Chains A and B, each alone.
Chain A
Amino acid sequence: KAGVTQTPRYLIKTRGQQVTLSCSPISGHRSVSWYQQTPGQGLQFLFEYFSETQRNKGNFPGRFSGRQFSNSRSEMNVSTLELGDSALYLCASSSNGHEQYFGPGTRLTVT
């Protein structure tokens, strides 16, 4: 099976802009989660989607949003970008909730 894919892999944006990141899960996986990884804060949970419904949400401001489509593909959006949003954004899919399979991530740099 193909692994989790994320696009784009790298992105440079300026403050105030918005960005949309995309994730395609492993075929058959209905759960998709998003994480932000920074050197200082580690892996922080953003949200989890299952069958197009947001099942859990982390402690991030409303500028961070996401959605999941009927084919389980997911997108996350960050509006009004801040310098502190620079991070590696990781998407993971799962069939059972216990084993998360991560994509390569999108490296976002906000200048």
Chain B
Amino acid sequence: GQSLEQPSEVTAVEGAIVQINCTYQTSGFYGLSWYQQHDGGAPTFLSYNGLDGLEETGRFSSFLSRSDSYGYLLLQELQMKDSASYFCAVRDLGNQGGKLIFGQGTELSVKP
């Protein structure tokens, strides 16, 4: 089957670094994406990893290891505004290009 596993919640303090892991099981693979969603808001795209390695975008970095079916999102210099839910997603290859499957989300709480 197709599934993604990520922790349900993570707590960290302002200024710290936090890593949110995501493991996936799919019938095919076409890259790992990360999205952020604040309460009451829509998900917003953060990053995409199509190949193994680290992608960095400002305070956020994302890593992928296809051999381990594993990726993570790294948030540095945490700020209160980073409190949100974070979703990993994979495009599972199917008959016509694959549907996007989301993990259940990790709720990040940043404390002062």
Contact = CB atoms under 8 A, between A and B. Distances in A.
A98 B50 contact: yes
Contacts of B35: 100
Q: Give chain A's interface secondary structure class.
A: strand
Contact of B103 (A42, A55, A90, A103): A42
A55 B96 contact: yes
Interface residues of A, number: 22
Interface of B: 30-31, 33, 35, 41-45, 48, 50, 87, 89, 91, 94-105
24 contacts: A42-B87, A43-B105, A44-B102, A45-B99, A45-B100, A48-B99, A48-B100, A55-B96, A56-B95, A56-B97, A56-B98, A58-B99, A90-B42, A97-B30, A98-B33, A98-B50, A98-B91, A100-B35, A100-B43, A100-B45, A100-B89, A102-B42, A102-B43, A104-B41
